[in-house]
Structure 1
Amino acid sequence: MDVPSGFRQRKSGQKRKAKGTKSQKPQLFQDTSSPPQPGQFPPPGNYGQPQGYDPSGMPPGDVNQFPGQQYIQDPMANLAMQYGTSWAGQSKDMLNKNIEQYVATSKIKYYFAVDTAYVGKKLGLLAFPFTHADWSIKYNQDEPVAPRYEVNAPDLYIPVMAFVTYILVAGLVLGTQDRFTPEQLGIQASSALVWFIIELLVVMFTLYVMNLRTDLKYLDIMCYLGYKFVGMIVCMLAGLVLQRMGYYGVLLWFSISLVFFLVRTLRVQIQPHSTGDDFSRGNKRSLYLILTIAILQPLLMWWLTNHIMFGRKQ
């Protein structure tokens, strides 16, 4: 079929034009390879956010504030905060001063200033005090010498260790008799501690009522009353090996030794009045108190150990 020449040219030109141009498809992602043009992107920090929006959640104009800032800027709030801080510091200082008055750290350290040589000598003195001659306590500038340098000085190391060992030995004795239970061990520990506290309070109250001049402090009294636990340990161990004969034999020996030790030691610590007729009365009162404390120790030793050694199986 013959086609006019003009029509063929127009058709071929349209084809060439179609080949030279590409079809425009919708762009899914924005091209970031070229630098953005002015006005192409919104200002920084406002992507998809309404005008005046603050990420902290505060209304516009409060961006530089944070919760509680208005209270800090308040003069009354600052004054109250300063007063509270100063009051807390004063209360802490007052509490530490009161605690230091009754339970001073330096005083506690003095009673635990011991070494191995002192512990060995002290245990020997408790068991065999009859050959000891000098019972005075040496002083250095109105302060007693530390126990490690003075065997006559009271200490808390031996009483504390003896009390813990007494509880352990009591558990051992109860175990050999098939009577051991955790409750029984707690009962023995609490019973010994309660009796010790009662004894300490009675002695301190007696010293106050009798108005005796003495160098004894309550920590010194705790030391002397706690030495009986050493004899209680040896009594129970002897009872495990030699039964009743060993128990009562060791109990008798340590009772005599402890009474002798306390009488000779407390005579140095408890001093009678020295004015006029009060001398003889003060001397008698102090002697009665010393004998009462000394004789009470063997009774408590027997009371706190006999039911453990020879108690009936429940």
Structure 2
Amino acid sequence: MEPDGASRHPPKRRVPPRLAEPHPLFDDTSAGGGPERGYRAPPAPPPPAFLAQPVSSLAAAYGASLATQGRDIVDRNLDRFLPVGRLKYYFAVDTVYVGRKLGLLVFPFLHSDWQVRFQDTPVAPRFDVNAPDLYIPAMAFITYILVTGLALGTQNKFSPDGLGLQASSALAWLLLEVLAQLLALYLGAGPTALAPADLLAFAGYKYVGMILALLAGLLFGRAGYFAVLSWCSLTIFVFMIRSLRLKLLAEPAAEAVPVRGPRNQLRMYLTMGMAGAQPLLMYGLTQHLLT
């Protein structure tokens, strides 16, 4: 028989001790947090002291010095060929001067006195119709480009690229003409009273006749074009001869004796060549614009 206590209190089972969890192979970094989790790159070291402010200041000062020197070189060389300070003289015009100058370009036979007046220096163009200016050549060049676009449009050939090509070509021929004249005068004529800005002005006057010839071609066809071009070619030739003759044959300030002998003859040939080139350029820059 079992004792009474055994029936009332059943024996307790022994629970084996819980095995400890093995040590994990990797730390759990999914939760983020403290410095012991994950990996952080070490902070970047500060730049060396010699790469700090003194070096950047030195580079900026050196760059500013180079820019100043380059600007001075450009200003000196530009002032030799096209004096920027004298540009005001070439644009000192008024309405009366422009009207008289255009009449002189179209009807030079009615003009007798071609001498440029001086008052220690040449007087401004608005006081002397014989003085060269850059206002009429500049406006005539722009007007020529506009008339070129009109001529191309009447033939259904207009395009921005085509108009830009015409403008670039006309400008290139103008600069090439002036450079060729400067080279010819330097090699053959010696010092003269002609400045590069004067040559640019005289070379730009032919655009007035080119505009008139193109407008006549648009209104009256090829016959009108050739009639007006012939007249304007003759007038620009006479205008250039009478204007350049006084400039080229005048005594330059650098010479103490008058120009005589072979040099004088060479200057006459240069005058004829510069004047004779104007009709050829006028025809070459306009004839392809009309059908």
Q: Where on the TM-score scale, by shorter chain, does this alignment land: which range?
A: 0.7 to 0.9
Instruction: Tell me the CA shift for residue 201 of structure 1.
Output: 1.1
TM-superposition CA deviations, 1:108-155 (whole Å, max 9, x none): 1111111111100000000001011111111122x2111111110111
Could you tell me which residue of structure 1 aligns to residue 4 of structure 2?
none
Say whether the 8 Å CA contact 1:255–1:298 is kept in structure 2: yes
Q: Which amino acid aligns with 1:301?
A: M
TM-superposition CA deviations, 1:256-309 (whole Å, max 9, x none): 111100000001100278999972312211111111111110111111100101
Name the CA distance, whole Å, in 2 between partners of 1:278 and 1:71.
67
1:117 corresponds to 2:93: no
Q: Which amino acid aligns with 1:294?
A: A
Name the CA distance, whole Å, in 2 between partners of 1:81 and 1:247.
62
Instruction: Tell me the CA shift for residue 184 of structure 1.
Output: 1.6
Say whether the 8 Å CA contact 1:216–1:269 is kept in structure 2: yes
Could you tell me which residue of structure 1 aligns to residue 150 of structure 2?
172
Instruction: Tell me the CA shift for residue 223 of structure 1.
Output: 0.3
Could you tell me which residue of structure 2 aligns to residue 292 of structure 1?
273
From 201, 223, 233, give the equivalent of 2:201.
Answer: 223
Name the CA distance, whole Å, in 2 between partners of 1:233 and 1:171.
12
1:107 corresponds to 2:72: no
From 78, 91, 112, give the equivalent of 2:69.
Answer: 91
Could you tell me which residue of structure 2 aligns to residue 37 of structure 1?
none
Change in Cα spacing, 1:83 to 1:164, as seen in structure 2 (3 Å) is closer
Q: Runs of 5+ in structure 1 lacking a partner?
A: 1-67
TM-score normalized by the length of structure 2: 0.74
Instruction: Tell me the CA shift for residue 106 of structure 1.
Output: 2.0
Say whether the 8 Å CA contact 2:152–2:289 is kept in structure 1: yes
Could you tell me which residue of structure 2 aligns to residue 155 of structure 1?
133
Name the CA distance, whole Å, in 2 between partners of 1:226 and 1:186.
19
Could you tell me which residue of structure 1 aligns to residue 230 of structure 2?
252
Name the CA distance, whole Å, in 2 between partners of 1:168 and 1:301.
16
TM-superposition CA deviations, 1:175-197 (whole Å, max 9, x none): 11111112221121111111111
From 87, 109, 116, give the equivalent of 1:130.
Answer: 109
Change in Cα spacing, 1:94 to 1:241, as seen in structure 2 (3 Å) is closer
Q: Number of residue pairs matched?
A: 244
Q: Runs of 5+ in structure 2 lacking a partner?
A: 1-48
TM-score normalized by the length of structure 1: 0.69
Change in Cα spacing, 1:211 to 1:84, as seen in structure 2 (3 Å) is same
Could you tell me which residue of structure 1 aligns to residue 172 of structure 2?
194
Name the CA distance, whole Å, in 2 between partners of 1:283 and 1:107.
29
TM-superposition CA deviations, 1:74-133 (whole Å, max 9, x none): 7xx799589759946963773475244544332111111111111000000000010111
Could you tell me which residue of structure 1 aligns to residue 284 of structure 2?
303
Name the CA distance, whole Å, in 2 between partners of 1:178 and 1:92.
47
TM-superposition CA deviations, 1:29-64 (whole Å, max 9, x none): xxxxxxxxxxxxxxxxxxxxxxxxxxxxxxxxxxxx
Name the CA distance, whole Å, in 1 between partners of 2:234 and 2:109.
10
Identity fraction in percent: 43
